Chain A
Amino acid sequence: MSEFINENPDILDETLLPSRKEDITNELFGDALGKITHERKRQLLQIGSVDSPVLKNIGLLDKLLNQQLSLDETVPDLTDIETATESDENTEEEEEEDPIDAQEIYDLIAHISDPEHPLTLGQLAVVNLADIEVHDTNGKDKMAEVIVRITPTITHCSLATLIGLGIRVRLERSLSPRFRITILLKKGTHQSENQVNKQLNDKERVAAACENDQLLGVVSKMLSTCK
């Protein structure tokens, strides 16, 4: 690859970046709607928006029916009847776990700006969904790991370390400390792959870099486009 290509990198359109398939039930918020039967909600959302009158009406009906139920309970409960009766079913239904997956990591880092181009790492295909690994199966109290492999736009890209640092800072800020973050260059994409990899995953050097105000300023600027 020549110098020339770095100046005119291939650019992916923002809308074509991989994204999570929108789960419409996830849009369900607003507590008035919290109590409609799940299936009915899903049906209604497929024909209209969250604030459509019909959805509001059904939501209201369910809410009032629930109120009736709770008022009819004869035993007075000093804490709160309504939540007591509901929370059992609700917690199960609503607190369904969303696992941290590769797409989530991708969404976190794909919008970081490239330090050279007015483009994001996702658009430049520096980070790719397929090159992100997440190992988190052991529950919240166990260690987990994220591995990100980046692809520099050219093999002698001098900014690979800076990009790596940006990704690391973003992930460290956004993930729980139980995650171990490893950032590597994709095999065969850089002349000095080993040195860069070493530098990116050396705790001391990363910490030192973050002490440098000027460097941190550059990183902050890169992160400012994150969504």
Chain B
Amino acid sequence: MATDYTEDKLKADIVSFMANAKVNTSVADKLANTIADEVTRKSIELLRIVIFLREYLTSDDDSTRQNALSCLSCILEHISPAVLKKNDVSVIFDFYQSKMEDSGCMKETLQGINSLVLMDCFYVSHVEKLLKLLGNDYQPTNFLAATRYFGFRIMDNILIKFKSQMLGNLKLNDLYIETFILVATGEKDPRNLLISFRLNSDISTGLRNIDSFKEELFDILFCYFPIMFKPPSNDPYKITNNDLKLALRSAITATEKFEEDAFGNLLDKLAASSPTVKNDTILTLKACVDTFSGTSSLKHWLPIWDALKFEILNGTDPEPSILDTAMDTENQNSRPEGNISNYSDSLSIITSLSSKLIALDEHAFDKFFNHIFDEFVPNFEQDKDLKQCCDLLASISKVSLQTFNKVMKKVIPVLFMDKDLDASKQKLLILNLAPFFSAYISLFGETGKEISKFHAKNELQNHKDSILMVFSKALTGTSKNEVTLRTLAIIQFTTLVKMSGFLDSEEIAMIVQYFTETILTDENKNIYCACLEGLKFISVFNESIIYEVSLKYMLHLLPDNENMVPITLNNTDIVPIERVLKVILDFTTSRHHLVKESIVGLASKLNLIVMHPNCSDYCFLILSCLFSLLQNNIDEFDQNVVQFLKESMEETFLQNSLKNDMIYLDDHSLSLAAGVLFQLNIKSDVSTHQSELITYNKCFLDEERIFDSAQRSIVIYSRLLAALDKNTSFEAANDIFSKAIELIKNNEALPTFESLNYLEFLALLSNKWVTESYIESVLDLTDTSIKNLEIICWINKGLVMKNSVLATKLTDHLFSLLSDEKFGNKVAHLFEVLVLDLLIFQRFKKVSWNNNIRLIYKQKFFNHIAQKMVNAFKSSDNMTIKSNYLTAVSLVLKNTPSNITISYITDLLPLLLQALELENIEVRISSLETLKNTVNQMSQLVTEHVHSLVPLLLNLLVPSKYSNVNVRFLSLEILQTLTTSVPLNYLIPMKNEIISKLQIGLDDSKRRVRKQCIDTKQAYLELGQVPFE
């Protein structure tokens, strides 16, 4: 192989390299690599290459010389460091040395030298020569950034390779530093600067005799401060301003030798007006304090403090208002990246100083702290800038237990100086305590997270009682109008609980009691939310306290019968039952604590209530609350919880619902009770479902005999079955399916509640158990009595939801009946049933067995009927029949998500417009709602109809039997939306007419309509107006 590489080939490669050198660097690089490999393999001598290059190297043409030299340098770069012998290195070094005078080739020369430095045989003796050479013959400012880059690389490599020699040879050490200063002076290129900063800190931390050079070394750093760099759009190195900032900062803080210069200069820069510069300065100052020793902090804290004082006392960080924080304490996120906060960063310097000083010497800290504290005494006396003072003192305190105690010892007495507090002073005191609580939390941790062992001996603990007293007084002793103060007290009470180890459980219980009483008696929303959040937070770690003090108390407050209403608290405040239930409900949402306990508690309450007559409304409320508790939390329940709940309440609950007239005879209560039972079963163990079915059948078929005569309890049976596994074998299904149909058909006087629930039951069976063939055999399509049509429709619902083939047939049958003048109208209303979302067909997370519902059944159904409806509508001449189609379409639209319907809107729009004239409120509302969605989402479709739409909407504004509040309100809303979604040239001609017609709405009898009308009118008045400013 080695012999393969002939001289000719070498020549060819070299020529080829020179041709590519400035054009195609990757090719050139590859060639250099090939040649270097050959040199390493010793199949060719480096000398041969030099000889071959000689004539190019001496050419008069700059470019030729550059290419030739570049060729040599590139080859060197790729040669392994061991190949060149001492002699070779010396010769080549001498060669490059001679080339230093050729300024046109400086880049290539430096590149070559850089590679040479890495050679094994490049010795210390060469280094000295090289450094002198650089010092004398290299003027960095005369060359481009790419050239200077190699200058830095050389310095970098020398330092890496010869550091130990330099440490042993002071002369060389000094020479190196001097040369570095020369090389680095005047640099501007970001890539070079990054190396320069790094070298600077390597030198200042790694070499000797820095003291004699520290000023120069510092100057070539600080002349860049504060660094401002915006990367060009085609930046190849991807260096950001932040990289440079951080590199410079770490270089400045690299050695304490810079301290005098650093602090002095940085403090000068603090006077900068630009916030970004100021922030950079503050952060660099902090880095200095953090990295330099405590002695340096001791030396400089006074000037630093004097310089920062202004920044801190005029701190203007935008703080979220206390009421906002109450509303969403959970969303408090830290300030986003890139946002600068000079105030908090200044405070962090103070914290750093405090931490350095206390570590150095207690007396030093005392002096520092006392100096600052004494400056603030007048502020405390005059209540001036107290927030800043307290933030600052808290920053000093949050370093260690020792500092915390020292600060607290002085601050607390000053804060509590004033004994006689009015509301605003209380507010101030509470606000001023807040920073110290945060300091406590950052020192000793948050409840539930790791606990520090020191907290027992802290100074704040000694003042716990007075703090609690102030807060209690603020919360319980002030008038209800002091919303801010009371909210503050609640929030800070919550903070106290957050402070790890600060309160004992009795005190927490007291706070819970305050919160519970406040939340029940206060009308204000902010206070309600703050209390709720507080209770929720406490429940995370102290669930048992909440259970004992709050939940049990509230359950106890709920009366056992309606005679005990109203509930009074502390003999003064009257608490409505609804409020107690609302608190219980709201408490369990989002965090899902104590749900089980609440449900069980309410269920047993219900057992007591049903014993008393005349409590049907109260019963209904409790049932609603139970239902909501289950509905809101069911996704979080696991099987154990469900099983527990089922075992502890199902039996009694079922009996109460069946036997107690207060529930049994009330439509709402009975449905809700059935809903509760449904939810108790939906997540129960599937393997028990078969036996459950047998039990239920026994109860309802054998005892209640619900298919022999119509019973209200069908609703419970139907919902219990809805929760069971669809794969459970159910032999009686066909039989009771037929029986139910018979019951509905043959019972003329069937009450609506029973009728509805038997129909719903049919839908359930057709969806889960009864086969299509059986259904077909039972149904009589020729019978067009209303009862039979309802039966078909409801059965079809179950089928539509599972995308059954039979569903298409039944739907078509119903559709054909729309053209019947006699009962088409009723059929049209029945179409809504097909797409209604019913509780029994609800889907739950991680529950797949309860029904056969295809996710896109509505889409399929809508695709099937939409076009048909439009065509049938167009081909019909009879107004009554047209209105049947309109009614059906709008009712279906109302229950179908707009993303499905939107693709049909073009065809449907003319129908919708006609529907607005139909004398039916529900149809009107439905088409108005669809129009509203369309205007919002695809306004261009509406644009072409705007001339017919606007007069229609304006006509709807006149109150009538068929234009109720909702119709009028929606019309106005759409009219307003038009101003932003329809092109001006369509609306401007109608503007005046619209404005004058809107006059009717201004005198509407409903306030809400009037308000909307005013807004709509204003929108038209401003239509086409050039916005001011």
Given A58-B671, A76-B823, A178-B1003: A53 and B628 interface contact (C-beta under 8 Å): yes
Contact at B1002–A40, with CB atoms within 8 Å? no
Please give, as numbers and ranges, the residues of chain A lying within 8 Å of B829 by CB-CB distance: 67, 70-71, 82
Q: Is the CB of B742 closer than 8 A to any CB of chain A?
A: no
Q: Is the CB of A47 within 8 A of B585?
A: yes
* Interface size range of chain A in the complex: 35 or more
At the interface, yes or no: A43 with Cβ under 8 Å from chain B? yes
Cross-chain contact B965 with A95 (CB below 8 angstroms): yes
In the complex, A175 Cα to B672 Cα: how many Å? 45
Interface residues as binary, A21-62 with B (CB distance below 8 Å gives 1, 0 otherwise): 000001001010010000110011011100011100110110
A81 adjacent to chain B (CB < 8 Å): yes
The reply to whether A98 and B671 contact each other, CB–CB distance below 8 Å, is: no
Give bound CA distance, A91 to B959, whole Å: 10
**A46, B576: Cβ atoms closer than 8 Å:** yes
Tell whether A9 is near chain B: CB-to-CB under 8 Å: no
- Asked whether any CB of chain B lies closer than 8 Å to the CB of A209, the reply is no
A208 within 8 A of B: no
- Compute how far the CA of A94 lies from the CA of B959 in the bound complex, rounded to whole angstroms: 12
Residue B37 at the chain A interface, CB threshold 8 Å: no
* Contact present for A31 and B925 (CB under 8 Å): yes
In the assembled complex, the Cα of A59 lies from the Cα of B710 at a distance in Å of: 24
In the assembled complex, the Cα of A15 lies from the Cα of B526 at a distance in Å of: 11
- Given A29-B966, A46-B578: A71 in contact with B585 (beta carbons within 8 A): no
Q: B5-30 interface mask toward A, CB cutoff 8 Å, 1 = contact, 0 = none? A: 00000000000000000000000000
Q: In the complex, how many angstroms separate the beta carbon of B998 from the nearest chain A beta carbon?
A: 10
Q: Name A47's contact: one of B578, B826, B839, B961 (CB within 8 Å).
A: B578
CB-based contact B965/A94 at 8 Å? yes
> Once the chains bind, are B620 and A40 in contact (CB under 8 Å)?
yes
Contact of B631 among A39, A53, A69, A178 (CB under 8 A): A53
The A73-119 residues at the B interface (CB cut-off 8 A) are 76, 78-83, 87, 90-91, 94-98, 100, 104, 108
Name the B residues within 8 Å of A71 (CB-CB).
786, 790, 826, 829-830
Known A-B contacts A54-B672, A176-B1002, A220-B1028; the reply to A80 vs B578 at CB < 8 A is no
The A-contacting residues of B in range 970-1029, CB under 8 angstroms, are: 999, 1002-1003, 1005-1008, 1010, 1014, 1017-1018, 1021-1022, 1025, 1028-1029
> What CA separation (Å) do A26 and B1007 show in the bound complex?
10
Contacting residue for B667 out of A61, A67, A96, A175, CB 8 A: A61
Contact with A along B558-581 (1 / 0, CB 8 A): 000000000000000000101101
Q: Does B625 contact A (CB under 8 A)?
A: yes
Contact residues, B46-69 vs A (CB, 8 A): none
Contact yes or no, B880 A34, CB < 8 A: no
For A55, the closest partner residue in chain B by CB is B624
Q: How far is the CB of A125 from chain B (nearest CB, A)?
A: 17
**In the bound complex, how far is the Cα of B829 from the Cα of A82, in angstroms?**
10
Contact (A47, B1005) CB under 8 Å given A78-B880, A173-B1014: no
Residues of B within 8 A of A94 (CB): 964-965
Question: A53 — nearest CB in chain B belongs to which residue?
Answer: B631
Residue contact A65 to B1017, C-beta cutoff 8 Å: no
Name the residue in A46, A97, A178 with the highest tally of chain B Cβ atoms < 10 Å from its Cβ: A46
For residue B753, which residues in chain A have a CB less than 8 angstroms away from its CB? 65
Given contacts A52-B628, A53-B631, contact A60 B961 (CB under 8 A): no
Which A168-227 residues have C-beta < 8 A from chain B?
173-178, 217, 220-221, 223-224, 226
Closest to B926 in A: A31
Q: Are A43 and B1007 in contact (CB under 8 A)?
A: no
B581 touches A47 (CB 8 A): yes
Q: Could you say which residues of chain B place their CB within 8 Å of the CB of A96?
A: 1005
How many Å lie between the Cα of A46 and that of B617 in the bound state?
13
CB B128 to nearest CB in A, in angstroms, measures 72
Say whether B444 faces chain A, with CB atoms less than 8 Å apart: no
Alpha-carbon distance between A31 and B620 when the two chains are bound, in angstroms: 22
Question: In this complex, what residue of A is CB-closest to B1000?
Answer: A176
Are B964 and A95 within 8 A (Cβ)? yes
Does any Cβ of B come within 8 Å of A72's Cβ?
yes
Q: A104 to B1004: give the CA distance in the assembly, Å.
A: 13
Asked if B240 CB lies within 8 Å of chain A CBs, one says no
Contacts A83-B921, A91-B964, A97-B1005 given: A220-B1014 contact, CB under 8 Å?
no
Q: How far is the CA of A69 from the CA of B753 in the complex (A)?
A: 10
Measured in the bound complex, the distance between the Cα atoms of B925 and A46 in whole Å is 26
B412 within 8 A of A: no
Q: How far is the CB of B807 from chain A (nearest CB, A)?
A: 20
B922 at the interface (CB under 8 A from A): yes
State in angstroms the CA–CA spacing of A176 and B672 once bound together. 46
Residues of chain A lying within 8 A (CB to CB) of residue B918: 80
* B752 in contact with A220 (CB, 8 Å): no
User: In the bound complex, what is the Cα–Cα distance between A177 and B1022 (angstroms)?
Assistant: 20
Bound-state CA distance A60–B835 (Å) is: 13
Complex: how many Å from CA A180 to CA B68? 98
Residue on A nearest B581 in the bound complex, by CB: A47
Interfacial chain B residues near A95, Cβ < 8 Å: 959, 964-965, 1005-1006
Enumerate chain A residues within 8 angstroms of B582, measured Cβ to Cβ. Answer: 46-48
Whether, in the assembled complex, A12 has its beta carbon less than 8 Å from a beta carbon of chain B, the answer is: no
Q: Contacts A140-B1003, A174-B1002 given: A44-B962 contact, CB under 8 Å?
A: no
Judge whether A80 and B579 touch: CB under 8 Å: no
For B1021, the chain A residues whose CB sits under 8 A away are: 173
A11 in contact (CB, < 8 A): no
What is the CA–CA distance of A184 and B829 in the complex, to the nearest angstrom? 57
B150 to chain A, nearest CB (A): 60
Tell me whether B752 and A65 are in contact (CB under 8 A).
yes
B627 at interface by CB-CB < 8 Å: yes
B727 at the interface (CB under 8 A from A): no
- Residues 137 to 160 of chain B near chain A (Cβ within 8 Å): none
Interface presence of B86 (CB below 8 A): no
Chain B residues lying within 8 Å of A140, measured Cβ to Cβ, are 1003
C-alpha spacing A217/B1029, complex, angstroms: 10
| One of B833, B919, B1006, B1028 near A80 (C-beta < 8 A) | B919
A residues within 8 A CB of B1014? Answer: 108, 173-174
Q: B825 on the interface (CB 8 Å rule)?
A: yes
Q: Is A138 an interface residue (CB 8 A)?
A: no
Q: Mark B813-832, 1 if CB is under 8 A from A, else 0.
A: 00000000011011001101
What's the Cα separation between A133 and B385 when bound, in Å? 44
Within 8 A of B (CB), among A139-183: 140, 173-178
B624 touches A54 (CB 8 A): yes
- In the complex, A100 Cα to B1011 Cα: how many Å? 11
- Nearest to A218 among chain B residues (CB) is B1028
In this assembly, does B501 line the interface, its C-beta being within 8 Å of a C-beta of chain A?
no
Which chain A positions have C-beta within 8 A of B786? 71-72
- Assembly CA distance A96 to B621 (angstroms): 26
Interface check B223, CB cutoff 8 A: no
The answer, yes or no, to whether B675 is at the interface (CB within 8 Å) is yes
Are B925 and A58 in contact, with the CB atoms below 8 A? Answer: no
Contact B627 A57 (CB under 8 A): yes
Interface residue from B578, B919, B1003 paired with A176 (Cβ < 8 Å): B1003
Q: Out of B620, B839, B1006, B1017, name the residue touching A43 (CB < 8 Å).
A: B620
A68 at the interface (CB under 8 A from B): yes
What are 18 inter-chain pairs, A to B, with CB distance below 8 A? A43-B624, A46-B576, A46-B578, A47-B585, A58-B668, A61-B671, A65-B752, A76-B826, A87-B962, A91-B961, A91-B964, A98-B1006, A98-B1008, A98-B1010, A174-B1017, A176-B999, A217-B1028, A220-B1028
A-B pairs, top 7 by smallest CB distance, nearest first, are A46-B578, A176-B1003, A98-B1007, A68-B752, A47-B582, A174-B1014, A80-B920
Known: A15-B323, A140-B1003. 9 other contacts (CB 8 A): A31-B925, A46-B582, A65-B756, A67-B833, A78-B880, A173-B1014, A173-B1021, A175-B1002, A178-B1003
| Residues of B near any A CB (own CB < 8 A) | 323, 483, 576, 578-579, 581-582, 585, 617, 620-621, 624-625, 627-628, 631-632, 667-668, 671-672, 675, 752-753, 755-756, 786, 790, 822-823, 825-826, 829-830, 832-833, 836, 838-839, 880, 918-922, 925, 959, 961-962, 964-966, 969, 999, 1002-1003, 1005-1008, 1010, 1014, 1017-1018, 1021-1022, 1025, 1028-1029
